[in-house]
Chain A
Amino acid sequence: MESRTLTPPARDREIRERRGLLFEESRRGRRGIDLPPPEFPEPSREIEDEIRRDLVDGMPELSEVEVVRHFTRLSRLNFAIDLGLYPLGSCTMKHNPKVNEWAARLAGFARVHPYTPERLAQGCLELMHDLERMLCAITGMDAVSLQPSAGAQGELTGIMIIRAYLAAQGSPRSVVLVPDSAHGTNPATVRFCGYTAEQVPSDEKGCVDIAYLDRRVDGEVAAMMVTNPNTLGVFEENIARVAALLHERGALLYMDGANMNAMIGITRPGDAGADVMHLNLHKTFSTPHGGGGPGAGPVAVKKHLEPFLPVPRIVKEGEAFRLESERPRSVGRVRTFYGNFGMFVRAYAYIRALGGKGLREAGETAILNANYLRKGLLGVLHLPYLGPSYHEVVLSDREIQKGTGVRTLDLAKRLMDFGFHPPTVYFPLIVPGALMIEPTETESREELDAFIAAMKAIVEEARTDPDRVKTAPHTTPVRRLDEVAAARQPRVRWKPDH
């Protein structure tokens, strides 16, 4: 175990060097697909010549073999959760159960068209209905729409619901409060819902400053968005007071469920007074991150907000399920069809596999693992907030930078040479030189020990051989890339004269 992590693994020169683009590997006349012999007559030429094309210039010409090798090679340039710890804070990179992948590919799910008559799609509707009910039980909320495509769209839908609800009461109000530790999607979402985003400072514990909030919340404040546990990994102890304060003044509490993994089975946002929240099925409920999507961001609400949920809604009548679109107070739809159904299958399978007891065990283990890492890294990295950590721990490079000049980014890059994906860095913004580490519940003690050992070795190396760290990574398929040049003269597509 020690030798695996402390010695940078040897890399395969072949994959490092054979990295042509599809277009460069292309040779005229090759093809990767075929069709049955023609069986339809040549259609009459109704489409005018001015809008017709023949071949698309530049498209690659490759056989199946070449395409398969091309993408197999590319795949080997990526790190992945199945290769080891992927401790990106707030991203919840947990194991993706393989049975879920099988299930989502069943013809009875994957080959069902979204406009299949409802009575012939009862299995899909039942799964969605049951998933909604299970998410209600988990969050303590009353109703769920699975429609939003990802967490950010769930946030947007949630704030739209708040706006529609308040508008129905007389005025949508104008300001939404966002803690200074929030994800960037929160203020961006607020803006795209026609509100002004206003930052609320954190107190010395890293929690919402309740005294400030008390002074600030007036008739202009529509809502506050709170992530709990927040991006410092700290549970908002005063969450119920925050909710009560907002409610007294006619404002609502939006819960960003990005960090729900720490609460599952232990506490419920609905019980703490949240009016609206979203969940990330790709975080808490194990659906794969896919190299950056697809996600799914169901939005959950309390009873008073249910009429405003997106349409269509799934309704159960007797033993049958149907879709209902006639909801006059609904915000409308936020996308085509009903949401990322393939993700619903996976999340449903995950919840059914764990049950209530298993989910609690998962939540507890996520917290146990984060605290175990925290303990192991105490004295190695600086801990800026001393309160208890939940699903993740935020550390900083403060002690190391002095004298060595080694920065957070350097530590992160060096971790790659030790076979780990780096944690989230430079976030949350309120911690200078932050490393935000979320191990999740699916990491074994050995994997956590190996990470701690690697981190210790790197910090030691920062003192003895800082240049080695500052120039890392050394063993990856490419080394540090010039991001400034990429942005200054953007080259965002291949061209033949490249």
Chain B
Amino acid sequence: MRYLPHGKEDRLAMLEAIGASSFDDLVSTIPEGLKLTREIELPPALSEIELTETLSLLAAKNASSASHRSFLGAGAYDHFVPHSVDHLLSRTEFYSSYTPYQPEISQGTLQTIFEFQSMMCMLTGLEVSNASLYEGASALVEAILMCQRTTGRERILVADTVHPEYLATVRTYLAPLGLTVETLPHRADGRIDDTALERAVDESTTAIAVQSPNALGVVERLDRVAGIARPRGASSIAVVAEPYSLGLLRGPGEMGLDVAVGEAQGFGNAVSFGGPYLGFLAAAASYLRQMPGRIVGETKDVEGRRGFVLTLATREQHIRREKATSNICTNQGLCMTAATIHLALLGKEGLRDVARWNHAAAAYALARLTQVTGVRRAFSGPFFNEFAITLPRRASEVLPALAARGFLGGFDLGRWYPEMERSLLVACTERTRRVDVDAFAEALQEVL
């Protein structure tokens, strides 16, 4: 087997060195009845040539943004990732190393995390960030639990336009802890109903979580959410599922929110059928010691050189066990590295320019698609790179016809909200070109 270095002679010599007459001597404490007496039933081993063929065939069965023109978003965004990112990620020192437990030989990973934390603070306008979490939904759970530890209160309010899979995840995690979530309604323009919010928040509210742009694509007035939460002592959580929006919209911290949490996949990571991605969590400085997950801090070595270490480990499971702030063990190292490299390439101007391209492409697409007979804008609230349109027919009937013409025409909102079965959520990125939008509008006209 090509992944196993020993030849037959090596094995015999090693057994002899150990003083065992056969391999069975080494597993003598496994009760006989539990030992497998036959090979595991699996397909036969493949050479690398056969394996390459098999995997190519499987991949060829899928429609991708390489085979189709895609307008799918809804929490996973097909941004252009510069080739430098993957080239650098393919350096074995990044992808075949592990958690930087030994800082002397892990400064590459540690400094990258420190740079990631720094940029997430800049983007969110907050003071501290961790080294990343699994993905957006479980990151929101961690943020809510962090606020709960901080405020010691019970009620958790979440806008009903937070990504439904985030909301479902929050419910899964909170159920065994005996905690429940109250949802807040949205208005006809797609924004959260601030009158309802105002009424709902009280002295027992631990946190309010609002997503912007929300699951309908609508940009929220997070400044107002912060204004309602703060006087009542509740934490305000901004949920961000499309990180590029931070290139056009003010950082949540600058608008007075306490916590920003969400999905940073769009920076450097492919959509990859849903994972691996990376969750991020940034907060005001007062939350630092209640944060979940890895955090890297700056320090010096014995010779006075700057270096970085995992820090505040007394929050974590390997030290605190059942008293830890989370059971999480690692971060999303490589996804975080991809995000950091991509952000470094984008830089100050690039991030703004790409965010503007996304927005302009979406604005053009909305204008163009609403020229199609019977198609109208679903919500009047402002949007970033994704918007909802209402069709004269069910989206589930229209999408297959569009796919047959080579378009993945967006997300059927009826899958999340049964009353929106005629609505389509359409996303654009910097990959979106004017010719694609024009062709999409024509195809939509034909199939309606």
A binds B: yes
Assess the B109–A78 pair: CB atoms within 8 A.
yes
B284 within 8 A of A: no
Assess the B66–A107 pair: CB atoms within 8 A.
yes
Determine the chain B residues whose CB is within 8 A of the CB of A74 once the complex forms. 107-108, 111-112
Assess the B36–A416 pair: CB atoms within 8 A.
no
Q: How far is the CA of A79 from the CA of B57 in the complex (A)?
A: 36
Determine the chain B residues whose CB is within 8 A of the CB of A289 once the complex forms. 95-99, 333
Q: How far is the CA of A97 from the CA of B48 in the complex (A)?
A: 10
Query: What residue of chain A has the Cβ atom nearest to residue B383's Cβ?
Result: A46
Q: How far is the CA of A335 from the CA of B276 in the complex (A)?
A: 11
Could you list 11 A-B pairs, sorted by A, with CB under 8 Å? A41-B363, A71-B94, A75-B108, A111-B270, A113-B408, A293-B134, A365-B6, A388-B27, A482-B300, A486-B309, A490-B297
Interface residues of A in 341-381 (CB under 8 A from B): 341-343, 345, 349, 351-362, 364-365, 367-369, 371-372, 374-376
Assess the B31–A240 pair: CB atoms within 8 A.
yes
Query: Which of A30, A190, A360, A478 has its CB near the most chain B CB atoms (within 10 A)?
Result: A478
Assess the A358–B1 pair: CB atoms within 8 A.
yes
Assess the A116–B72 pair: CB atoms within 8 A.
yes
Q: How far is the CA of A188 from the CA of B323 in the complex (A)?
A: 7
Q: A68-B84, A78-B109, A479-B303 are in contact. Are A62 and B344 (CB under 8 A)?
A: yes
B343 within 8 A of A: yes
B334 within 8 A of A: yes
Interface residues of B in 80-123 (CB under 8 A from A): 82, 84, 86-88, 90-109, 111-112, 114-115, 117-119, 121-123
A1 within 8 A of B: no
Query: What residue of chain A has the Cβ atom nearest to residue B437's Cβ?
Result: A40
Extra A-B contacts (5), CB below 8 Å, given A61-B349, A150-B330, A152-B329: A108-B56, A111-B272, A289-B97, A369-B14, A371-B26
Query: What residue of chain B has the Cβ atom nearest to residue A376's Cβ?
Result: B17
Query: What residue of chain B has the Cβ atom nearest to residue A480's Cβ?
Result: B302
Q: How far is the CA of A428 from the CA of B138 in the complex (A)?
A: 28
Interface residues of A in 144-166 (CB under 8 A from B): 149-153, 155-156, 160, 163
Q: How far is the CA of A443 from the CA of B343 in the complex (A)?
A: 37
B178 within 8 A of A: yes
Assess the B96–A445 pair: CB atoms within 8 A.
no
Q: How far is the CA of A479 from the CA of B103 in the complex (A)?
A: 9
Pick the residue among A26, A64, A95, A185 that contacts B345 (CB under 8 A): A64
Q: How far is the CA of A436 from the CA of B94 in the complex (A)?
A: 24
Q: A59-B348, A266-B35, A336-B135 are in contact. Are A188 and B335 (CB under 8 A)?
A: no
**Chain B nearest CB: distance from A486 CB in Å?**
4
Determine the chain B residues whose CB is within 8 A of the CB of A376 once the complex forms. 17
B266 within 8 A of A: no
Q: How far is the CA of A184 from the CA of B325 in the complex (A)?
A: 12
A313 within 8 A of B: no
Q: How far is the CA of A421 from the CA of B98 in the complex (A)?
A: 10
Assess the A481–B109 pair: CB atoms within 8 A.
no
**Chain B nearest CB: distance from A298 CB in Å?**
13
B76 within 8 A of A: yes
Interface residues of A in 274-302 (CB under 8 A from B): 286, 288-296
- Tell me which of A191-199, A210-218, A246-254, A458-466 binds B: A191-199
Query: What residue of chain A has the Cβ atom nearest to residue B415's Cβ?
Result: A115
Determine the chain B residues whose CB is within 8 A of the CB of A361 once the complex forms. 1, 4
A33 within 8 A of B: yes
**Chain B nearest CB: distance from A361 CB in Å?**
6
Assess the A292–B100 pair: CB atoms within 8 A.
yes
Interface residues of A in 417-466 (CB under 8 A from B): 421-422, 424, 427, 441-445
- Tell me which of B180-188, B201-209, B242-250, B440-448 binds A: B242-250
A257 within 8 A of B: no
Determine the chain A residues whose CB is within 8 A of the CB of B317 once the complex forms. 152, 184-185, 187-188
Interface size class of A (residues with CB under 8 A): 35 or more
Assess the A79–B72 pair: CB atoms within 8 A.
no
Q: A80-B92, A291-B94, A486-B299 are in contact. Are A56 and B271 (CB under 8 A)?
A: no
Query: What residue of chain B has the Cβ atom nearest to residue A163's Cβ?
Result: B176
Interface size class of B (residues with CB under 8 A): 35 or more
Q: A185-B327, A361-B4 are in contact. Are A32 and B345 (CB under 8 A)?
A: yes
- Tell me which of B151-159, B167-175, B192-200, B229-237 binds A: B167-175
Assess the B275–A40 pair: CB atoms within 8 A.
no
Assess the A356–B41 pair: CB atoms within 8 A.
yes
Determine the chain B residues whose CB is within 8 A of the CB of A58 once the complex forms. 118, 122
B223 within 8 A of A: yes
**Chain A nearest CB: distance from B257 CB in Å?**
11
Assess the B5–A111 pair: CB atoms within 8 A.
no
Query: Which of A336, A349, A361 has its CB near the most chain B CB atoms (within 10 A)?
Result: A336
Assess the B109–A368 pair: CB atoms within 8 A.
no
Determine the chain A residues whose CB is within 8 A of the CB of B72 once the complex forms. 113, 115-116
B39 within 8 A of A: yes
A245 within 8 A of B: no
Assess the A53–B82 pair: CB atoms within 8 A.
no
- B interface footprint on A283-327 (CB within 8 Å = 1, 0 otherwise): 000101111111110000000000000100000000000000000
**Chain A nearest CB: distance from B180 CB in Å?**
13
Q: A71-B341, A75-B88, A291-B97 are in contact. Are A334 and B173 (CB under 8 A)?
A: yes
B217 within 8 A of A: no
Q: How far is the CA of A47 from the CA of B223 in the complex (A)?
A: 13
Query: What residue of chain B has the Cβ atom nearest to residue A50's Cβ?
Result: B223
Assess the B102–A290 pair: CB atoms within 8 A.
no
Q: How far is the CA of A494 from the CA of B168 in the complex (A)?
A: 35
Query: Which of A26, A122, A354 has its CB near the most chain B CB atoms (within 10 A)?
Result: A354
Q: A19-B107, A265-B39 are in contact. Are A339 and B344 (CB under 8 A)?
A: no
Assess the B65–A113 pair: CB atoms within 8 A.
yes
A138 within 8 A of B: yes
A412 within 8 A of B: yes
Interface residues of B in 20-45 (CB under 8 A from A): 20, 23, 26-31, 33-36, 39-45
Q: How far is the CA of A286 from the CA of B2 in the complex (A)?
A: 13
Assess the B349–A47 pair: CB atoms within 8 A.
no
Assess the A493–B127 pair: CB atoms within 8 A.
yes
A220 within 8 A of B: no
A42 within 8 A of B: yes
Query: Which of B96, B263, B295, B382 has its CB near the most chain A CB atoms (within 10 A)?
Result: B96
**Chain A nearest CB: distance from B215 CB in Å?**
12
Determine the chain B residues whose CB is within 8 A of the CB of A110 once the complex forms. 64, 270-272
A340 within 8 A of B: yes
**Chain A nearest CB: distance from B62 CB in Å?**
4
**Chain B nearest CB: distance from A38 CB in Å?**
8
Q: How far is the CA of A319 from the CA of B101 in the complex (A)?
A: 46
Assess the A77–B98 pair: CB atoms within 8 A.
no
Assess the B26–A388 pair: CB atoms within 8 A.
yes
Q: A336-B166, A388-B27 are in contact. Are A184 and B319 (CB under 8 A)?
A: yes
Q: A126-B61, A240-B33 are in contact. Are A353 and B337 (CB under 8 A)?
A: no
